[in-house]
Structure formats: structure tokens, C-alpha cells
Amino acid sequence: MQCERLNLLPTPPHAVSRLRSARLARSVKPFLARGGSQVEHCAGCRLILSHCLCALRHSVPSRSGMCLLMADIEPLKPSNTGWLIADVVPDTFAFGWARTEVDPALLRLLADPQWQGYVVFPGEFVSPERVVSQVQHDDARRPLFILLDGTWAEACKMFRKSPYLSQLPVLSLSPEHLSRYTLRRSKRDDHFCTAEVGAMCLGLAHDTHAADTLNAYLDVYTEHYLKAKHQQAVDLDDAVHRGLRALR
């Protein structure tokens, strides 16, 4: 299922792809994912060419925007699911995080009056007056969900050491299910991958079609990733692929 075999037209790189390219340009040595191989990967979806996902990528109009603050090497990891958000949600922005400096474009985005920013973080770690559990539906301002994309320790550091986020409300999610993400391990049962968090935010903002598409796309991506890892063929007519097709 290679891109070349499908004769796909190239798509413009989205925000996470551009951030990955910038991060690679700064690297002094090639990035090798843990347990990775030297097999060629697709630049469009990061999977090996035999399990390419590009033909199934589907951008969905949504009123919400997504702003990913990404830890240093997060854009380089094949298992990063912020990439999937950028595939699905047209208004996705991505910025590398550093304690000592901030991208001026991020500050301009947060100050843009068309957006109402929400920092997505567990409310138990935040002053109660900042915490909200619902998204305000305002005709004048669109919701912008700020996701801290990294390990739990990295996300905590980003939250504590980003003063430009301190005036924004904190959206605390209350999921009704456990994470189904299996590509990385977490020490906490209540941790969710970035794409799952993004889908929950879209649901709260009533961007239901985008939320459902992102969830289904995550399921298909996970299937392709694990099949590639175990050198197994992908069944394009299994339940997860049919579920994604039904949303197109």
C-alpha cells in the first residue's frame, strides 16, 4: 500500500510535519526511534511504505482549532498522535516548547481575538478558579485547545514553566472510559494519548464529526502501526477501516 503505488498527489505539509522537518534540520545525528529499523518510512504518515496510511487521511471541517506544544523530540516519534490531529483538523498549529524562549508566532496566536484558548490539563493540579469542564459556545470566538504533547513529566514542566499560559482557563476532562492507545505505556490508567484528548475536546465543542473521525483514524493508524511492527498485512476491509470509511 505504498504512496507511489497509489499515485497519490502530494499534500502540503501540515504544522506538525513542518515542525518535524525543522527539528530534523537542527539534529546533529539521525533520530532513531526506540526499536526502530532502517526500513524506509513514508514522509507523509511516518509508517513503513508497505503500511502507508496516506490514502486514508481525511481532513474534516471544524470550528475548533488545536495548538500543540510539543516536547523536544516528540515530533520525531513515529508513535506521536499529534500528527493525526493535524491530519484531521485543518486549523492545527504546532510549536516546539523550550523553557527559555517562546516562538513569537505562538504568542500572536494566543492573542488573536478570534480564538478562546483553553489549556487542557487535569484540574486536580490547578487552582480551582482557573478550572472549567465545559467549552463556552461563543459566536465571536472559536475554541482553541492547547495540548501539552509529551510525557507526563514533560507536560507538567510545560504547564508550570509557560507563563504565557497562566491567564488562560484550564479545561479539565472527565473521560468515561480508559485509554485504548496501545503504542506506548503509561504508569497512570487515566492518561490518554494526544489524539484521544483532541477528540474529547472536539466533542465538547460540538465538532462531533471531527471527533468521531479522529477517533476512527486513530484506530486505523494503530492497526497499521502494529501490523507493520509484527510484519503482518493490513486488512483494508476489517472493522476499523470500515468504521473510518463510514465517516467520509
Quote the CA–CA distance of 185 and 141 in Å, as a whole number. 37
Q: Mean pLDDT, to the nearest integer, of 138-154?
A: 94
87-133: pLDDT as tens digits: 999 999 999 999 999 999 999 999 999 999 999 999 999 999 999 99
pTM score: 0.88
Name the residue range of residue 171's domain: 3-245
30-61: pLDDT as tens digits: 555 554 556 788 888 889 999 999 999 989 99
Class of residue 190 by CB neighbours under 10 A (exposed 0-12, middle 13-18, buried 19+) = exposed
Residue 34 φ then ψ, to 5°: -60, 125
Quote the CA–CA distance of 227 and 233 in Å, as a whole number. 6
List residues bridging with 132 in a β-sheet: 171
Residue 5 scores a pLDDT above 70: no
178-204: pLDDT as tens digits: 555 555 554 555 578 999 999 999 999
∠108-153-162 over CA atoms, to 5°?
25
Domain count, the chain: 1
Q: How does the average pLDDT of the chain come out, rounded?
A: 87
Helix (H) or strand (E) holding 85: helix 82-88
